[in-house]
Amino acid sequence: MTQEISSAQTAVRNSQFEAEKQSAYLETVLAHLSSGVMSFDGDRQLRTHNAAAERILHTLLGTFVESSIAEMIKALPAAEPLLNMIDQGISDDVSEWQKEISINSPLGQQTLVCSGTKLSGAETESGCVVVFDDATALIKAQRDAAWGEVARRLAHEIKNPLTPIQLSAERIRRRYLDKVEKDDREILDRATRTIAQQVESMKSMVNAFSDYAQPVISRPRRLDINTLIRDITELHVAHLTRIRFLFDLADDLPQIMTDPAGIRQVLNNLIINASDALGDKGGELKLSTRIDHAKDNLLVLELQDNGPGFPAKLLDRIFEPYVTTKTSGSGLGLPISRRIIEENGGTMRATNLPKGGAVVIIHLPVAQSQGASIDDRQGKRE
């Protein structure tokens, strides 16, 4: 009898050990998944989650374990579309579901691709496990590629007839301007000039289409961002007299490895955009730099103005092609600028300030402490 009890106890310990081993293994797998995972019981309470779920949702979920979906919605309004989908999935008479939803995160609108599976329960209503991925970058890349193809085709189709139109207008002007009556001469003069001006305007638009359709060619080298900012703004300060330039440039910043020409184009475009937003009344434009130690020591460059800010309805789409607040312009300046920053390993986002005004935030990787760029090494040999 004693031997039987001992054997039973050993079997229980072994079973418990195996269960703990499997649980630890499962926790390790979940911790290393790039997809977010959350599970809910039949009472719609959060039971488990992984680190990826916190990263994607920008939220510490540990404090919500054993909280109901309703309680989570109150505390996490940004995640309400996801939580409502989970709640509906548990209620529906389906065992699996897949959906694409959008949520508003601190970094802007995110697109999540979600899959849910019900967990069968013997005695209580079944819960579910939900797996979700942030597809924002993928969808953006697909959209950018599509817009690039649209831009390429538009540039090709529009450019071909422009030169014949312009030449024909100039030929009509030269041949008939001195042969018609005075009243008709003024009409002909005005009409041919208007045609020429509009053709030039369309050529500028076509060139913008072509620029957007072309891949960004980056020639990175080490540079001091503060020096580059001073060089660029010096040119604008001279003629943008209605704008007060403010600087908050951190000392002793590490160099960045980036394409100087590309960064110049980005800064010039952002300064001109801020000038247009501030209008004739003028205002302030502040440029600041710092190191973000919380984000892998990335260099942060911010341009902040005290103008009207971005229209709320366009804020999530401000970097999409042909989205613009200007009556004139192609709407490609910001998309091209972000492409340049991304090609140089950085990120770029825009938001409005609580007290008014807009801010564009750029993150750029710092140069490695060892080695030099190809351009630098070639310069030394020369």
Give 324-379 pLDDT, tens digit per residue.
777 666 677 888 898 899 888 899 999 999 888 999 999 999 887 644 443 443 34
Residue corresponding to tokens 């980056």? 218
Taking the C-alpha atoms of residue 87 and residue 56, their distance in angstroms, rounded to an integer, is 19
pLDDT greater at residue 52 or residue 202: 52
Fold match, 33-135 / 221-365: no
CATH number for the domain formed by residue range(s) 221-365: 3.30.565.10
Q: What is the pLDDT of residue 377?
A: 39
Q: Rounded CA gap, 361 and 279, in Å?
A: 22
Nearest to 53 by CA among 23, 24, 20, 86: 86
Question: Can you tell me the distance from the alpha carbon of 130 to that of 80, in angstroms, rounded to the nearest whole number?
Answer: 15
Residue 56, both tokens: 């994607």
Look-up of token digits 């913008």: 208
Strand order across the 108-119 sheet: 46-49, 36-40, 127-134, 108-119, 96-105
Cβ-based neighbour number of residue 380 at 10 Å? 8
Residue 376's pLDDT is what?
A: 45
C-alpha to C-alpha distances, 303 to 129, 284, 285, nearest whole angstrom: 43, 10, 7
The position carrying tokens 């019900």 is 118
**Integer Cα distance of 365 and 258 in angstroms:** 9
Pick the more confident residue, 122 or 64. Answer: 64
Question: Would you say residue 165 has pLDDT above 70?
Answer: yes
pLDDT of residue 275: 92
Do 49 and 40 touch, CB atoms closer than 8 A?
no
Residue range 33-135 forms a domain whose CATH class is alpha beta
Residue pair 250/289 in contact by the 8 Å Cβ criterion: yes
104 membership: H or E segment, kind and range: strand 96-105
What residue spans define the domains of the chain? 33-135, 140-213, 221-365
In the block, tokens 């939580």 appear at 83
Q: What share of the chain is helix, strand, coil (3-state, %, to 5)?
A: 50, 25, 25
CA 352 to chain centre: 15
